A and B are shown apart, each in its own frame.
Chain A
Amino acid sequence: MFNKPKVQLNEYLKLKYLLNDKSIEKKISVENIKAYWKHNNSTDIDKLLQYSEQNKQYVNMDKIDSLEKKVFLSLITIMSLMFIIGLSMGFSLLSHDDTSRVNVTSFFFIMIIIPFLFSTVSFFYSIKSKTNLSKWIEENIFMPISKILLNSSTIMPNDVVKSIVFVKFQQGSLALLTGTILALFMTLLAKYVIFGWESTIIDTSSLQSFINFISFPWIFCCPNAVPSLEVIQDSHYYLSSNIIDLEALKSNTALSDSWWKFLGMSLIIYGFIPRFILLYLSNKIYHNALVDNILNDKNANEILLLIDNISHVTTTELVNEEHKTKEDNNSIFETNKKTIPHSLDYIIGWSHTKEILELILKHKNITASHIEIAGGNVPIDKEDALIASIEGSIMIFVDSWEPPQKDFINFVSSILKNKDNSISIYPIGMADDNYKPESKNISIWKNKISTINSSNIGIYNV
């Protein structure tokens, strides 16, 4: 889920092609959006790769295939070339002359020290930023090489080409080393090899301390891969001396044993291991170069923005109005509190059926000269007729839990147009609650009635 994105050359080329071909319409379909949604935490690279996967039909694959083929072919060519070079160099160095005497020192310097230094330097060159020297190297060595290898393509910018070439370099030198090692073992397998050394400036003891220094990494685990002072002394002048007792040498196995083991160990420790590390690092640099190159692409950023905008989900439109603070209606008008008048002219059940109203009245033990219903399903003309004829003191039963609506307010307002009329509202609760209303609902009614602003209407305080 959290893996660092790694871009393959093929993916990179496809994406680059898509990003740079202006003729391709940047379209993101619903299906694409759904795919983007799958991973909340997908990185920009993930998104871009997905984009290129979704639009791959627009990519000219021939062009990319041929470019890829070129990179691959150059890899094969370099590898096999270097391998052959390594092999032949190994053979030639191991066969000092036809008596199969080997010059350890020159083998060591040519096959181990020089390549080691070379790859280390080139590695630092690749990570170090621009200096005059590196510019010169780039222009005169890398670019010509890459032109030959990759036929300078417009899609691939210099730093990517450079990192590709660099990877090839590391792969090549690994191939070279493999060749050398193979040569060493083949020689050892097929021939009796005499190892010897000679030098004008190095004497036996300094060579020994040098060898000890070199073989430090394995001196404890395989001591017989470290030539002893005797061995070094014995093999001095073997190269030039003509009076070698071959039979005596052959019986002294320690002599050649420790030399070839030493050379083999050196090849592994100073050849293979650093090369593998460098190959790994250069691969990393190469992949990073691909990623960086994509992320720095102006068109890629445009696409990313487009993807983000187009796949972004909003559930509402944010209005920037301040949440209004609730004004307290209670304080505006004081609602009259009514008690039940001694004589009632009218009792009206608002939005009740006649039967229910009678039930309520029986329960409350209240009665009046006229008992009517209004609201609810009562036809409008009947309601209007009631308004026209009604007078005196009126009590209206309402269901407290149903909020008062405009039709009710209009109804009581019309009645109150006759100044002699007075209304008290009797909010009742549900039958389940023994008609006892909740105080919360009462205050809703109170507030609403207070907006009528008349002293002739009040609420019966239960």
Chain B
Amino acid sequence: MYDNYPSFVLVGHPNKGKSSIVSTLAYDDSVEVSDIPGETKKTKYHPLKVGDKILYKIYDTPGFENAKRALSWLEKNETTSREHSKILKRFVEENKKSSEFKEEIELLNPIVDGGAIIYVVDGSTPYKEEYEAEMRILSWSGNPSMAIINKIGNKDYTNGWKNALNQHFKIVREFNPMNAKLDEKLKLLDAFSAMNQDWESSIDYAKEALIHNNDKMFYNTAKMIEENIRKSITYTVTSSLIKTDITDKDKINYEEQYKKDLIRFEKNNQKNVQTIWGHNRLDSSMEKFKFSDELFSGDFSKDGLIKKSFIIVSSVASASLAGATGFAFSAPTSFLDFGATTTLTTTLSTVGGAVVGFTTSAIGYNKFINSTTIGKIFSKKRFQVGPMKNYNFIFILSARAIQHAVAISTRSHAKRDNMNLNTNENSAENLFDDTEKKELAKISVNFRKDKNIKKSTEKYIEIIMKKIKII
């Protein structure tokens, strides 16, 4: 049924965004895109496949370099106009070895094999007659063809281009590879399929495949985030057994370890999300966790709930938390005392600012160092940092993960710059509505207590999906 898949060959002047369009359509950030003209030297194709069935191939080609002389070769050898495609074939065959027409041969190869022509121009620079030669060469193939106007710069010469292109192409579309959403890609595919009716079923199938693929990437992203959040919430650093009390220096070391690990988890998660979306070469960075001192260093036991630190959970989530944890938030004295652990207090002011990501006083880790006495006879102790008991944690981590995921999922594969994300301390506040806050608070408790994991996981993934899939 789909044995005769179409090939789409992107051709045009150098540096007009051919590779960029291929890159975004193929979700491949390894395509050579550069502001130096002549970046693409060899023709390469990217197949869209379901299983091992190819639905279409997109070809990236080098730009024309010597069009006028190539056209003159063709005209010199012209017999009748019915023979044009044959002569074009002959041109490709006879000049295989010539360096003069190296780029022309590269780009014409897939066309003489029957590939449809997608002629790419830059709508931000004016049309000039020198383009005529290229278009006339292409028309010798007699293949289905269309044109894409890609506006690289800010100026607008689109109308001039449309007039010129309409002489040669039945279909002329505007497309921007730098910010094209899935929807626009699908519309472009529609234009592709309009070139030849036989391709309709193949393209329709391809569109469904792309939609599915998109959904799947969102789902996998949410799943990835969930795994990392659960890991981070439950994470602890535990010392070996020791007899005496822990020294301040050791405490700081354990805390540092804890913080570093959490940062590493987040970084890894971001890397994984990028891989899901095919941004394999992307270098991304995210602003550090920027918690103001009061946000976390406040003593929860005294006036925790009133403090700014609990804004997120206090207003809506505390009620459900009180239920879920079995103690009331309005009696904060119990907050630190529950469980069989004794809380030690450390002064964190001695810790240098060498931490990447979390700022030092950030999470008030001193509240999370627990010493547990393992058996009275030996009176040995084990010190433990974490798990994070602050219920804001899930909101802050989730908001960061969502922000990153949204940036990645909306990023064009044609982009080659690095990605730097600025975070906003309050983003977690405004990101979730009241019901979501309640649910997240419960999920946080469940994750930490290893309770209702399956349900909580599913619920969490659902919430994340809702937040990242913003098309």
Which residues of A are in contact with B by a Cβ distance under 8 Å?
1-2, 30, 33-34, 37, 40-41, 309-319, 321, 323-324, 326, 329, 351, 353, 375-377, 380, 399, 401-407, 410, 430, 432, 440, 444, 447-448
In this complex, the member of B27, B128, B132, B205 whose beta carbon has the largest number of chain A beta carbons within 10 angstroms is B128
Which of B14, B15, B51, B65 contacts A312 (CB under 8 A)?
A: B51
Contact B38 A380 (CB under 8 A): no
Interface 0/1 of B1-43, CB less than 8 Å to A:
1100000000001110000000001111010101111100000
Tell me if B160 is interfacial: C-beta within 8 Å of chain A: no
In this complex, the member of B13, B213, B461 whose beta carbon has the largest number of chain A beta carbons within 10 angstroms is B213
Q: Determine the chain B residues whose CB is within 8 A of the CB of A314 once the complex forms.
A: 47-49
Contact B50 A312 (CB under 8 A): yes
Contact B66 A410 (CB under 8 A): yes
Which of A34, A309, A323, A403 contacts B51 (CB under 8 A)?
A: A309
Which of A30, A315, A380, A432 contacts B213 (CB under 8 A)?
A: A315
Which of A351, A380, A402 contacts B72 (CB under 8 A)?
A: A380
Tell me if B278 is interfacial: C-beta within 8 Å of chain A: yes
Tell me if B208 is interfacial: C-beta within 8 Å of chain A: yes
**Docked pose: A312 CA to B28 CA in angstroms:** 17
Contact B278 A315 (CB under 8 A): yes
Which of A1, A2, A329, A405 contacts B64 (CB under 8 A)?
A: A405
- Sample (10) of A-B pairs whose CB atoms are under 8 Å apart: A2-B462, A312-B51, A314-B49, A319-B30, A323-B30, A403-B13, A405-B14, A430-B155, A432-B155, A444-B36
Q: Determine the chain B residues whose CB is within 8 A of the CB of A33 once the complex forms.
A: 50-51
In this complex, the member of A37, A309, A402, A410 whose beta carbon has the largest number of chain B beta carbons within 10 angstroms is A402
Contact B130 A401 (CB under 8 A): no
Contact B212 A313 (CB under 8 A): yes
Contact B50 A316 (CB under 8 A): no
Tell me if B125 is interfacial: C-beta within 8 Å of chain A: yes
In this complex, the member of A317, A318, A405 whose beta carbon has the largest number of chain B beta carbons within 10 angstroms is A405
**Docked pose: A404 CA to B68 CA in angstroms:** 14
Tell me if B216 is interfacial: C-beta within 8 Å of chain A: yes
Contact A40 B215 (CB under 8 A): yes
Q: Determine the chain A residues whose CB is within 8 A of the CB of B86 once the complex forms.
A: none
Contact A376 B210 (CB under 8 A): no
Which of B34, B51, B461 contacts A311 (CB under 8 A)?
A: B51
Which of B30, B52, B213, B219 contacts A41 (CB under 8 A)?
A: B219
**Docked pose: A361 CA to B72 CA in angstroms:** 30
Tell me if B323 is interfacial: C-beta within 8 Å of chain A: no
Give the residues from 41 to 90 in chain B that come closer than 8 angstroms, CB to CB, to chain A. 46-52, 63-69, 72
A381 vs chain B, min Cβ distance (A): 9
In this complex, the member of A316, A317, A321, A410 whose beta carbon has the largest number of chain B beta carbons within 10 angstroms is A316
Contact A315 B34 (CB under 8 A): no
What 9 A-B pairs come out closest when comparing CB atoms?
Answer: A403-B37, A406-B65, A310-B51, A37-B212, A316-B28, A40-B219, A316-B26, A2-B458, A313-B213
Tell me if B209 is interfacial: C-beta within 8 Å of chain A: yes
Contact A315 B27 (CB under 8 A): yes
Q: Determine the chain B residues whose CB is within 8 A of the CB of A315 once the complex forms.
A: 25-28, 46, 48, 210, 213, 278
Q: Determine the chain B residues whose CB is within 8 A of the CB of A403 once the complex forms.
A: 13-15, 37-38, 63
In this complex, the member of B34, B46, B65 whose beta carbon has the largest number of chain A beta carbons within 10 angstroms is B65
Contact B1 A30 (CB under 8 A): yes
Tell me if B281 is interfacial: C-beta within 8 Å of chain A: yes
B57 vs chain A, min Cβ distance (A): 10
Q: Determine the chain B residues whose CB is within 8 A of the CB of A406 once the complex forms.
A: 65-66, 100, 103
Q: Determine the chain A residues whose CB is within 8 A of the CB of B458 once the complex forms.
A: 2
Give the residues from 75 to 128 in chain B that come closer than 8 angstroms, CB to CB, to chain A. 100, 103, 125-126, 128
Contact B281 A323 (CB under 8 A): yes
Contact B125 A430 (CB under 8 A): yes
Q: Determine the chain B residues whose CB is within 8 A of the CB of A37 once the complex forms.
A: 208-209, 212, 215
Q: Determine the chain B residues whose CB is within 8 A of the CB of A351 once the complex forms.
A: 128-130
Q: Determine the chain A residues whose CB is within 8 A of the CB of B46 once the complex forms.
A: 315-317
Closest to A33 in B: B50
**Docked pose: A223 CA to B69 CA in angstroms:** 109
Q: Determine the chain A residues whose CB is within 8 A of the CB of B47 once the complex forms.
A: 314, 316-317
Closest to B44 in A: A319
Which of B37, B125, B129, B278 contacts A376 (CB under 8 A)?
A: B129
Q: Determine the chain A residues whose CB is within 8 A of the CB of B69 once the complex forms.
A: 380, 407
**Docked pose: A257 CA to B121 CA in angstroms:** 97
**Docked pose: A312 CA to B50 CA in angstroms:** 5
**Docked pose: A176 CA to B236 CA in angstroms:** 55
Contact B64 A326 (CB under 8 A): no
**Docked pose: A37 CA to B51 CA in angstroms:** 12
Give the residues from 209 to 244 in chain B that come closer than 8 angstroms, CB to CB, to chain A. 209-210, 212-213, 215-216, 218-220
Contact B66 A34 (CB under 8 A): no
Q: Determine the chain A residues whose CB is within 8 A of the CB of B278 once the complex forms.
A: 315-316
Q: Determine the chain A residues whose CB is within 8 A of the CB of B281 once the complex forms.
A: 323
Q: Determine the chain A residues whose CB is within 8 A of the CB of B461 once the complex forms.
A: 41
Contact A440 B35 (CB under 8 A): yes
**Docked pose: A310 CA to B1 CA in angstroms:** 15
**Docked pose: A28 CA to B458 CA in angstroms:** 29
Q: Determine the chain A residues whose CB is within 8 A of the CB of B30 once the complex forms.
A: 318-319, 321, 323
**Docked pose: A7 CA to B27 CA in angstroms:** 38
Q: Determine the chain B residues whose CB is within 8 A of the CB of A1 once the complex forms.
A: 462
Q: Determine the chain A residues whose CB is within 8 A of the CB of B205 once the complex forms.
A: 30
Q: Determine the chain A residues whose CB is within 8 A of the CB of B103 once the complex forms.
A: 406
Q: Determine the chain A residues whose CB is within 8 A of the CB of B27 once the complex forms.
A: 315-316
Q: Determine the chain A residues whose CB is within 8 A of the CB of B213 once the complex forms.
A: 313, 315
Q: Determine the chain A residues whose CB is within 8 A of the CB of B65 once the complex forms.
A: 405-407
Q: Determine the chain A residues whose CB is within 8 A of the CB of B133 once the complex forms.
A: 377
**Docked pose: A317 CA to B35 CA in angstroms:** 24
Q: Determine the chain B residues whose CB is within 8 A of the CB of A377 once the complex forms.
A: 68, 129-130, 132-133
**Docked pose: A376 CA to B219 CA in angstroms:** 52
B177 vs chain A, min Cβ distance (A): 14
**Docked pose: A171 CA to B115 CA in angstroms:** 68
**Docked pose: A40 CA to B220 CA in angstroms:** 9
A120 vs chain B, min Cβ distance (A): 28
Closest to B99 in A: A406
Interface 0/1 of B129-144, CB less than 8 Å to A:
1101100000000000
Contact B128 A401 (CB under 8 A): no
B106 vs chain A, min Cβ distance (A): 12
A380 in contact with B68 given A323-B281, A430-B126 (CB within 8 Å): yes
A401 in contact with B208 given A40-B219, A407-B68 (CB within 8 Å): no
A403-B15, A410-B66 given. 14 additional CB < 8 A pairs?
A2-B462, A33-B50, A40-B212, A310-B51, A311-B51, A312-B51, A315-B27, A316-B47, A329-B36, A380-B69, A402-B13, A403-B38, A407-B66, A410-B100
**Docked pose: A318 CA to B64 CA in angstroms:** 26
Contact B209 A313 (CB under 8 A): yes
Contact A401 B36 (CB under 8 A): no
Contact B210 A313 (CB under 8 A): yes
Q: Determine the chain A residues whose CB is within 8 A of the CB of B209 once the complex forms.
A: 37, 313
Contact B26 A375 (CB under 8 A): no
Closest to B459 in A: A2
Q: Determine the chain B residues whose CB is within 8 A of the CB of A40 once the complex forms.
A: 212, 215-216, 218-220
Q: Determine the chain A residues whose CB is within 8 A of the CB of B63 once the complex forms.
A: 403, 405
**Docked pose: A309 CA to B100 CA in angstroms:** 45
**Docked pose: A318 CA to B46 CA in angstroms:** 9
Closest to A319 in B: B30
Contact B125 A402 (CB under 8 A): yes
Q: Determine the chain A residues whose CB is within 8 A of the CB of B36 once the complex forms.
A: 326, 329, 444, 447
Closest to A321 in B: B30
**Docked pose: A448 CA to B15 CA in angstroms:** 13
Q: Determine the chain B residues whose CB is within 8 A of the CB of A410 once the complex forms.
A: 66, 100
B299 vs chain A, min Cβ distance (A): 40
Closest to B212 in A: A37
